[in-house]
Structure 1
């Protein structure tokens, strides 16, 4: 049945391509294709021309009727991606792309994150999206499929965030934003910027607090984003960035079992009180990116960055139940892009090298009702990578372009054990992962309104330091350095079409992974991981937009069939071949309609629907499917030199009870993290 569905979908895609090609040739009007992205070939180009699946989300604070607190607010209209707001700021959002990253119970796996060209993903493949300052963001790009493999240790995709540049104005420009909402949500944002063509600066500071939808889920955080842009000459741009993230409070209500989830979704699990589960985070990061045009054909891009991250967390267990993490990280990168012509047609190649490193001191203590007790763990962990890459984009015929790329990666983990006793031996050691990732692609630029593309590539995903921390039972103590990196082969075929007020993106994708990283057992609240033989992911992504003046509509649909292709043993249970991957809904749909009313006023209705989601590898339980609606309204006003934007939104308009996210493979059966009921948020933003 799966194969038949894919064949029919392929035929449908080709029919759509032919129909749009005929219509586009008959219509000679030039479409508006203003979206610019850089993720496809590391230099600016129109999103429409990228030979792969990529979406760009423009962030305009004076038009978006949203708090701009969580990334999940902005990515719903992008097919192929799941960004789940867990209503748990101690565990961050869940982010997955085409079924990669669904296994993560905290942080982000399998998706590489960059902010202004600087990695927010560590060398071991773990990243966080909470440190992204959305009030400073200008554009968010999501690259999916084989082309993402050219960015390194990232199996599913690449998420890039670009923050706003300083305004070119000798008179400083100010911005003030404030908002309040249900469950004690309070937000305040202040920004100031100015400068000239040669030197400018921008500073943005935001603060957010919430009492939490659930009991024991209060949180507060403060973010600062500073950016300085210098252009000493027309050929050189130097960008300096400084980010700080301070989260002194984030209570963890933990997941709920099915009975508790149905009876009272606002409650916290009792262990959250017994162990006072919570997390504090303090992160600082700074970096410099230099772009220099050596000539009209050559550009060099260099980066250097560094930062620190301190985490204190109490878990719902006693032994080793307090985590104290002190991390430093940094890296450098250099790439050279050359543009030339062959047979009077463009050819561009890029070569580069990247090296990143993290060092952390990880201590564990006995959890005495939320207070650190005796020392139970003390080690110094290191992860570093060294990558070389190259990419060629060649237009070998007027309507045909080929892409070829190669990335050679080396990732090294090491652990220096400082907690050695009569019963705890020295568990120091290390492991090295190596991988070569080739990518090939072809795109047919049928005309100005239609592109058809196909890509094939391989990639890899190492276990994180946290996932390799524990060995299986009866194999000794210490890190599990026998855990392998997962490797995948991915293919996609897609079209991008424009006709008049309509735009359509379709993509078919398939990936096959071996040595997938899956849980083997849970010992004392700690998960031991192993490798499963084969996992398959295939599906369809469809995105459609239309501007009817004064009404605009948007749809994003994803069909994802992600399954284990071979059985394996997970503790005392057998995971059967054919089981679905947990955390990955088979169907997801987003629909949006926005109407412009009068002068500067808008009203929008959003709908998000998902089919049921399996919560564990054995598929013995699932979160029910749902459809939730959101209503928003906004109004822009002008008062002298000031622009004012007022907005209000009601999320979960019909007060549906559903699981906003799931904790996959939770050893205690507490899989469900409830989404909030009906919620109101109102806000105002001013720029002057």
Structure 2
């Protein structure tokens, strides 16, 4: 954030919270010193977010439901492999670790994204400002570098539309900048139940003009279930150059390799109850699973034109190779292709401008930008001959482009009131060029374009130094993915007539904080038109349709507080309290407002719950520091019943799990060490961790592990 931007932010706080005379005195003092002034709550709770306004601001002042979760790679009491480890305490967010590294996490925000059977759908992902979501709306969370992250931001509600093709929210992972005063190093290792093993190293160094970081890590597991072993390797590099006071250049390189990720497939309820560790016979017969290799590079340039104006540009490109073996037999194996081979190239560019000025003597911030993203998939499909590649059954080139332009403003039109708003125009184009045309496989070639304008408008009332109230309204947009338009009705041709889903969203919320206490609550409502749901399943080919009247509404409640003396170090590296606790609760009523025919030709009644959503979710965590180097913690997670199909005939029962964790920090010479351990599901509860929504074979359920442990040691200097 520029110095001018920080001063404008400080001016707004002063005008909003002081009398006119005292504000002008403080402004005069600030101008004389040339420094921004921070308020007392910011010093106590210094979390910063950029997701809502695209410029640094306190989370407390952000005009939307946004969370900033600090990540400390040294003191975290988990291996930092999956986003589910850090986002459990964020209300409105469901992150289910499927224990299936072939299909990635299930990530949804306010009920958006629950229909995805693999990858992340309906939620936009970013890592250090670079999109991890492809132009068609499908994203991958596995490539995020949590082992060297500094924080994870989650933006929910209407303002997520300013980022484009994402109806439910935005998740951004940020990594730390290189040190400016020398060299740092960190190493870690750990092991746990089911053959888990993790090891990594991170190096960093530099000065105020040039610095860099490099980290590499590996993780492997035998898997909780049969046929669920996985291995991952990741290498990440970041270079930050400051050639002038006005210009900052950040270069990034990421390499992700997953040479092994077995897929145990889902189970029926009877199979899950009888033996949750088992894999169905098809998993071993067809050796289901996938291999992935992804390489990406990008550069972000921030340039300050003046004290009021700044530009940011980004440019990135990458490749992704994927080979996936599916569990298909009979007609499905010979007509659809049980082995998928994907060769993807992708990239994009963006340019945005931000201006800090005043209107009527009060702060006004403008942002405007354009961006373009594209990908090209060379996709082939082969018969899966019991795990070996057979005859060619699919050969096509798929393309997706995403063009967008946005404008956004934040105006303090009164010392206690802000008006915020924006508009985004999006154009998504999907095209299929079919190279495998036979009598049995007609030409699937074609293209379609989706155009949308998404406005959003909100207001913030700074009622007190410690209390903000906000409200937002907006429209959402979510295009079908290339996977969802791949097959037409009856398995003939493509389904490029499928429409994009649009939604009307609103929220109202409050934020209160004082000293070491913070309380936030939000009510939200979203109505979707042309929601994408399955229509039929023909020979392994899922065909999708649009339905209207899907409703998502609910309540989010979050509280975090510290008690007792200030001791030790908290997760974000600052002094922590002797006792700390946090609570996150979500009530979500997501249901179909109109009846329709499902994939089996049966009627889904109006009022049926949206599969994959829990009506009640609760997360509670407590930490106790009896001595400054020692921290003890406990966690509880509760989910109510989750339906697995549109008919609401199959469901995973509700459950509650309890975890324990401990960490101890000590020194050997100049080296800081942190030993940690955790026991998850300490009661050894048998439960369904996730469901495969509308699974065609009726194998909806993915059991979660029983009692398991993980211990580790990290060192830093």
Q: 1:290–1:302: 8 Å Cα contact kept in structure 2?
A: yes
Q: 1:62–1:636: 8 Å Cα contact kept in structure 2?
A: no
> Where do 1:497-576 residues align within 5 Å?
497-549=512-564, 550-570=578-598, 571-576=600-605
C-alpha distance in structure 2 between counterparts of 1:401 and 1:599, whole Å: 42
Corresponding residue for residue 9 of structure 1: none
Corresponding residue for residue 442 of structure 1: 459
> Where do 1:113-262 residues align within 5 Å?
113-170=125-182, 172-262=183-273
Corresponding residue for residue 342 of structure 1: 359
Corresponding residue for residue 446 of structure 2: 429
Match of 2:495 among 447, 461, 480: 480
- Between 1:646-655 and 1:161-170, the stretch displaced more is 161-170
Q: 1:301–1:335: 8 Å Cα contact kept in structure 2?
A: yes
Corresponding residue for residue 582 of structure 1: 611
Q: 1:282–1:311: 8 Å Cα contact kept in structure 2?
A: yes
Corresponding residue for residue 310 of structure 1: 321
Per-residue CA shift, 1:63-85, capped at 9, x if unaligned?
A: 21111011100001000000110
Corresponding residue for residue 355 of structure 1: 372
C-alpha distance in structure 2 between counterparts of 1:527 and 1:497, whole Å: 47
C-alpha distance in structure 2 between counterparts of 1:187 and 1:174, whole Å: 17
Q: Shift of the alpha carbon at 1:344?
A: 1.6
Q: 1:254–1:268: 8 Å Cα contact kept in structure 2?
A: yes
Q: 2:216–2:236: 8 Å Cα contact kept in structure 1?
A: yes
Q: 2:346–2:374: 8 Å Cα contact kept in structure 1?
A: yes
Q: 2:41–2:514: 8 Å Cα contact kept in structure 1?
A: no
Corresponding residue for residue 33 of structure 1: 45
Corresponding residue for residue 9 of structure 2: none
Provide the secondary structure at the position in 2 that maps to 1:158: strand
Q: Shift of the alpha carbon at 1:327?
A: 0.2
Match of 1:105 among 95, 117, 120: 117
Corresponding residue for residue 301 of structure 1: 312
Provide the secondary structure at the position in 1 that maps to 2:672: strand
Corresponding residue for residue 25 of structure 1: none
Q: 2:73–2:148: 8 Å Cα contact kept in structure 1?
A: no
Q: Shift of the alpha carbon at 1:459?
A: 1.1
Q: Shift of the alpha carbon at 1:29?
A: 6.9
Provide the secondary structure at the position in 2 that maps to 1:124: coil
Corresponding residue for residue 415 of structure 1: 432
Provide the secondary structure at the position in 2 that maps to 1:72: helix
Corresponding residue for residue 668 of structure 2: 639
Provide the secondary structure at the position in 2 that maps to 1:548: strand
Provide the secondary structure at the position in 2 that maps to 1:338: strand
C-alpha distance in structure 2 between counterparts of 1:33 and 1:300, whole Å: 29
Q: Shift of the alpha carbon at 1:621?
A: 1.2
Structure 2 unaligned runs (5+)? 1-16, 18-38, 565-577
Does 2:507 align with 1:492?
Answer: yes
Q: Shift of the alpha carbon at 1:593?
A: 0.8
Match of 2:704 among 675, 683, 688: 675
Q: Shift of the alpha carbon at 1:667?
A: 1.1
> Where do 1:77-116 residues align within 5 Å?
77-116=89-128
Per-residue CA shift, 1:265-285, capped at 9, x if unaligned?
A: 000011001111010000000
Q: Shift of the alpha carbon at 1:467?
A: 1.0
Provide the secondary structure at the position in 2 that maps to 1:227: strand
Does 2:648 align with 1:648?
Answer: no
Q: Shift of the alpha carbon at 1:639?
A: 1.6
> Where do 1:275-286 residues align within 5 Å?
275-286=286-297
C-alpha distance in structure 2 between counterparts of 1:344 and 1:635, whole Å: 52
Corresponding residue for residue 3 of structure 1: none
TM-score by length of 2: 0.91
Provide the secondary structure at the position in 1 that maps to 2:443: coil
- Between 1:527-536 and 1:418-427, the stretch displaced more is 418-427
Distance change (3 Å), C-alpha of 1:280 and 1:30: closer
Superposition CA RMSD, Å: 1.1
Q: 1:148–1:155: 8 Å Cα contact kept in structure 2?
A: yes
Corresponding residue for residue 422 of structure 2: 405
Structure 1 unaligned runs (5+)? 1-20, 22-27
C-alpha distance in structure 1 between counterparts of 2:362 and 2:439, whole Å: 71
C-alpha distance in structure 2 between counterparts of 1:197 and 1:121, whole Å: 33
Q: 2:226–2:264: 8 Å Cα contact kept in structure 1?
A: yes
C-alpha distance in structure 1 between counterparts of 2:539 and 2:387, whole Å: 17
Q: 2:73–2:149: 8 Å Cα contact kept in structure 1?
A: no
Q: 1:204–1:226: 8 Å Cα contact kept in structure 2?
A: yes
Q: 2:45–2:516: 8 Å Cα contact kept in structure 1?
A: no
Q: Shift of the alpha carbon at 1:447?
A: 1.9
Corresponding residue for residue 630 of structure 1: 659
Q: 1:297–1:338: 8 Å Cα contact kept in structure 2?
A: yes
C-alpha distance in structure 1 between counterparts of 2:440 and 2:653, whole Å: 46
C-alpha distance in structure 2 between counterparts of 1:535 and 1:599, whole Å: 50
C-alpha distance in structure 1 between counterparts of 2:277 and 2:148, whole Å: 32
Q: Shift of the alpha carbon at 1:30?
A: 4.7
Q: 1:225–1:244: 8 Å Cα contact kept in structure 2?
A: yes
C-alpha distance in structure 1 between counterparts of 2:661 and 2:537, whole Å: 43
C-alpha distance in structure 2 between counterparts of 1:427 and 1:153, whole Å: 25
Per-residue CA shift, 1:644-684, capped at 9, x if unaligned?
A: 01000000010000011100000111010010000010000
C-alpha distance in structure 2 between counterparts of 1:125 and 1:29, whole Å: 41
Per-residue CA shift, 1:500-529, capped at 9, x if unaligned?
A: 332100000000001000011112222111
Corresponding residue for residue 61 of structure 1: 73
C-alpha distance in structure 2 between counterparts of 1:441 and 1:676, whole Å: 43
Q: 2:510–2:521: 8 Å Cα contact kept in structure 1?
A: yes
- How many residues in Structure 1 have an aligned counterpart in Structure 2? 659
Q: Shift of the alpha carbon at 1:426?
A: 2.4
Per-residue CA shift, 1:285-322, capped at 9, x if unaligned?
A: 00000000000000100000000000000000123100
Corresponding residue for residue 14 of structure 2: none
Distance change (3 Å), C-alpha of 1:641 and 1:52: same
Match of 2:54 among 14, 39, 42: 42
Provide the secondary structure at the position in 1 that maps to 2:548: strand
Does 2:484 align with 1:456?
Answer: no
C-alpha distance in structure 1 between counterparts of 2:563 and 2:477, whole Å: 43
C-alpha distance in structure 1 between counterparts of 2:153 and 2:317, whole Å: 23
C-alpha distance in structure 2 between counterparts of 1:192 and 1:106, whole Å: 33
Does 2:646 align with 1:617?
Answer: yes
C-alpha distance in structure 2 between counterparts of 1:511 and 1:115, whole Å: 27
C-alpha distance in structure 1 between counterparts of 2:481 and 2:629, whole Å: 48
